[in-house]
Amino acid sequence: MSYTIAEKILLNHSNHKSVVPGQFIECEIDLIMVHEQLGGRIHKEYEKLGIDYVWDPNKIFFILDHWVPAPTISAAEMHQDCRIFAEKYKFIHNIGMNRGICHQVLPEMGFSRPGMLIVGSDSHTTTYGAFNCLSTGIGATDVSVVFATGNLWFKVPESFKINLKGKLNKGIMSKDFILKLIGDLTTKGAIYKSLEFHGDGVKDISIDGRMTITNMVVEAGAKFGVFLPDVKLTKWLEERTDITYKYVYPDKDADYEKEFNYNLSEITPVVAKPSNPGNIVNVEEEEGIEIDQAFLGSCTNGRMEDLRIAAKILKGKKIDPNTRLIIIPASTDIYKEALKEGLIEIFINAGGIFGHSTCGPCIGGHMGVLGPDEVCISSSNRNFVGRMGAPSAQIYLASPATVAASAINGKITDPREVL
Amino acid sequence: MIDKIEGYTYILGDDINTDDIVPSNALTLRDTTEMAKNTLRYLRPNFVGMVTKNNIIVAGENFGTGSSREEAVNVFKILGVKAIIAKSFARIYFRNLINLGIPGIQLNWDKKKFSHGDHLEITLNKGLIFNKTKNKEIDFKKLPDFLTKILEDEGILNQLKKKLFKG
Ligand code: SF4
pLDDT digits (tens, 9 = 90+) for A54-76: 999 999 999 999 999 999 999 99
The yes/no answer to whether this complex scores an ipTM above 0.95 is no
Domain co-membership, A185 together with A279? no
Please state the atom number of ligand 1 nearest to the C-alpha of residue A302. 1
Domain-ending residue, one of A216, A232, A264: A264
Ligand 1: residues with CB < 6 A are A 66, 101-103, 122, 124, 298-299, 359, 362-363, 380-381
- Statement to judge: residues A224 and A285 lie in one domain: no
Residue A40's pLDDT band (cuts 50, 70, 90): confident
The verdict on A211 and A339 lying in the same domain is no
Of A241, A264, A287, which closes a domain? A264
Identify which of A77, A136, A384 has the shortest CB distance to residue B20: A384
- CATH number, domain of B134, equals 3.20.19.10
Beginning with the edge strand found earlier in the chain, give each strand of the sheet holding B4-11 in spatial order: B104-106, B83-86, B55-59, B4-11, B119-123, B128-131, B136-139
What single letter denotes the amino acid at residue A62? F
| Domain match, A212 and A282 both | no
pLDDT, tens digit, 9 for 90 and up, residues A175-204: 999 999 999 999 999 999 999 999 999 999
Question: How many whole angstroms from A102 Cα to the centroid of ligand 1?
Answer: 8
Asked whether residue A310 falls in the same domain as residue A208, the answer is no
Do B42 and B23 meet the contact criterion of CB atoms below 8 Å apart? yes
Q: Are residues A143 and A185 in the same domain?
A: yes
A257 and A326 assigned to the same domain = no
The terminus-to-terminus CA distance of chain A in angstroms comes to 50
Considering only CA atoms, which of B66, B100, B121, B133 is closest in space to residue A382? B66
Do both A183 and A311 map to the same domain?
A: no
What residues contact B55, with CB distance under 8 A and at least 6 apart?
Answer: B7, B8, B9, B10, B79, B80, B81, B82
* Of A264, A285, A312, the domain-final residue: A264
Q: What is the pLDDT of residue B166?
A: 75
| A109-164 tens-digit pLDDT | 999 999 999 999 999 999 999 999 999 999 999 999 999 999 999 999 999 999 99
Same structural domain for residues A95 and A121? yes
With contacts defined as CB-CB under 8 Å, which chain A residues touch B159? Answer: none
Number of domains comprising chain A? 2
Q: In this predicted structure, what is the pLDDT of residue B52? A: 86
Q: Provide the whole-model pTM.
A: 0.96
Query: Domain range for residue A59?
Result: 5-264
Q: How many domains does chain B have?
A: 1
C-beta atoms of A387 and B62 within 8 A: no
